[in-house]
Amino acid sequence: MRQDTKVVPTEAMDFAATSRSPAGAASPGVPVSVRGLHHAYGELQTIERLDLDLPAHGVLGLVGPSGCGKSTLLELICGLQEPGDGAIDVGGAGDAASRLSRCAFMPQRDLLLPWLAAIDNAALALRNRGVRRREARAEAGKLFERFGLAGFEHALPAELSGGMRQRVAFLRTLVAGKPVLALDEPFASLDAITRAEMQSWLAGALESNPRTVVLVTHDVEEALYLSDRVAVLSARPGRIVEELSAPAPRAPDRDAVVTDPGFVEVRERAMHALRAGTR
């Protein structure tokens, strides 16, 4: 049943672009660049000589074996941590506080606050900025309709299905109005069917709400479908072993795309690189 995952594209829909972001982001999506990044936890070198370039509105997929520092890299970009060495630039600013003000982070588990209704979870960023509850709900509510969640505004997270929760979590990230979205394995906890649905859903959401996105996943297919480019990371210490262009980023018919021979070929190359990098 795909109808509840349908995304209705509308023009000039990005309310978040006009929302009060402390960064004062005029346009959603800013370029992100990473230069010569090194990072270690104590003695453990997690990231080594890493360079990344991401244009505004670009979607970059990061795949790699477990423990290769993917999640750390996201936290570094978001300004949740400072790197050991190297430079990270998000929309022209390099310090952690500016990066933090330009990035919204979607963690692996949805981490919806169980005591807040779905709409209040989605509106968290607005509430944190001092917007009144009513206004915040009204703004977040617009997106609920648009993203197939109408009618579930006042449901508690425990009453929602896994896919629904993940959608609310994504809306929460989107409502923050940040130019950069950092998604950490957003669908890892879902079953295969729901995950495929959510990938289509996210593709539609990103097409209608373009942002600069860094997507961490261990699912090569997911990365290649959702991203413009995919960087394959090696085992720890993480560095990029291969960069691939996706054949049909976020094309409407996901099932057709992922079974296309061209897509399959790129996917196999990515898998090969992944295997090589793990050794």
Partner 1 sequence: MNRWVLPVLVLAALIGAWQVAASSGAIADALGLEPFLVPSPSEIADALWESRSLLAENAWVTLREILLGLLCALAAGLGFAVLLHLSETLRRAFYPLIVASQTIPIVAIAPILIVWFGFGIGPKLAIVALICFFPITVNTLDGLRSVDPEATKMMRTLDASRWQILRRVEAPTALPYVFSGAKIAAVIAPIGALFGEWVGSDAGLGHLILQDNAQLETARMFAAVAVLATIALALFGLLALAERRVVRWR
Member of 24, 42, 114, 261 binding partner 1 (CB under 8 A): 114
Q: How far from chain centre, in Å, is Cα 32?
A: 14
Task: Name the minimum Å distance from CB 258 to partner 1.
Answer: 29
Cβ closer to partner 1: 9 or 22? 22
Show contacts with partner 1 in window 204-223 (CB under 8 A).
none
Q: Does 103 bind partner 1 (CB under 8 A)?
A: yes
Cβ closer to partner 1: 95 or 265? 95
Q: Does 13 bind partner 1 (CB under 8 A)?
A: no
Task: Name the minimum Å distance from CB 71 to partner 1.
Answer: 9
CB atoms under 10 Å from CB of 8, counted, come to 11
Q: Which residue is associated with the tokens 């982001």?
A: 25
Alpha-carbon distance of 265 to 224, in angstroms, equals 11
Q: Are strands 32-41 and 44-54 parallel, antiparallel or unpaired?
A: antiparallel
Q: Does 188 bind partner 1 (CB under 8 A)?
A: no
CB proximity list for 229: less than 8 A, separation 6 or greater: 58, 59, 60, 61, 243, 244, 245, 246
Show contacts with partner 1 in window 131-170 (CB under 8 A).
156, 158
Pick the stretch among 8-16, 57-65, 174-182, 218-226 that binds partner 1 (CB under 8 A).
174-182
Task: Name the minimum Å distance from CB 123 to partner 1.
Answer: 10
Q: Does 267 bind partner 1 (CB under 8 A)?
A: no
Binding mask 63-82 for partner 1 (x = CB under 8 A): ------------x--x-x--
Member of 57, 127, 218, 269 binding partner 1 (CB under 8 A): 127
- Biggest distance spanned by C-alpha atoms of the chain: 54
Sites of contact with partner 1 (CB under 8 A): 22, 75, 78, 80, 100-101, 103-109, 111, 113-115, 124-125, 127-129, 156, 158, 172, 176, 178, 182
